[in-house]
């Protein structure tokens, strides 16, 4: 008799568990989707990309103070970890060699707390760049950056990959293949 009662209780427990699981699933289906904290809207991502382009295209390094955190850490080619002032100096180094440099953002991919941007920098080598005097050559440099944002919507970290080999070939450091 104990075995029969044990089986009945087990079946009843399974039925209750199934009912609760089903009810939870149905309730979750009916709930309106919510934007998760930290997920940037398409409009915010486009607005950020436009402002980031202004850094190079106006040019206006002060825009960085508006869209990057004071705690920013940058990981860029040929540089140690950079703070915000270091990033400004890094950009100035390129601008000295390519004063007409502009940035065009081609693609933005939105992550939970990150944006991935695919960009192209173009300009003319009319100043000293990497110790190489002006050649007058056009410069085209492709880049991809991963930008991590804090809860205030400011960039706190950036990893960038830039086609430095292509730039070196374009200014004659080594011949193109």
DSSP string, 78-144: T--SB-HHHHHHHHHHHHHH-TT-EEEEEEEEE-SSEEEEEEEEEEE--S-BTTBPP---EEEEEEE
Name the token pair of 109: 């991919």
Domain span including residue 21: 1-33
- The number of distinct structural domains making up the chain is 2
29 plus 57 within the same structural domain:
no
Same domain (yes/no): 80, 164: yes
- Give every residue of the chain whose pLDDT is below 70, as ranges: 1-39, 176-177
Give pLDDT, residue 38. Answer: 55
Same domain, 75 and 133: yes
pLDDT of residue 175: 73
Q: How much is the pLDDT for 170? A: 95
The predicted structure's pLDDT at residue 177: 55
Query: Same domain for 48 and 27?
Result: no
Same domain? 79 vs 11: no
**pLDDT tens readout for residues 87-104:** 999 999 999 999 999 999
- pLDDT in the model for residue 19: 36
Classify residue 177: in a domain, yes or no.
no
Question: What is the domain-level CATH number for residue 120?
Answer: 3.10.450.50
**Same structural domain, 104 and 125:** yes
Is residue 24 located within the same domain as residue 60? Answer: no
103 shares a domain with 27: no
93 and 23 housed in the same domain: no
């Amino acid at each position: 008799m104990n075995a029969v009662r044990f089986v009945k209780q087990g079946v009843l427990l399974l039925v209750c568990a199934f009912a609760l699981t089903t009810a939870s699933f149905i309730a979750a289906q009916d709930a309106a989707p919510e934007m998760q904290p930290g997920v940037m809207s398409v409009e915010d991502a486009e607005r950020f990309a436009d402002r980031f382009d202004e850094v190079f295209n106006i040019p206006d390094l002060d825009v960085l103070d508006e869209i990057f955190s004071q705690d920013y850490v940058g990981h860029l080619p040929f540089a140690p970890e950079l703070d915000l002032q270091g990033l400004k100096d890094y950009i100035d180094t390129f601008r000295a060699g390519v004063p007409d440099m502009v940035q065009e953002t081609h693609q933005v991919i939105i992550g939970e707390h990150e944006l991935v941007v695919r960009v192209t920098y173009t300009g003319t080598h009319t100043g000293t760049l990497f110790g190489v005097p002006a050649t007058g050559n056009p410069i085209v440099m492709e880049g991809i950056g991963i930008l991590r944002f804090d809860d205030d919507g400011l960039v706190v970290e950036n990893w960038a990959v830039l086609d430095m080999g292509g730039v070196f070939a374009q200014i004659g450091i080594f011949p193109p293949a």
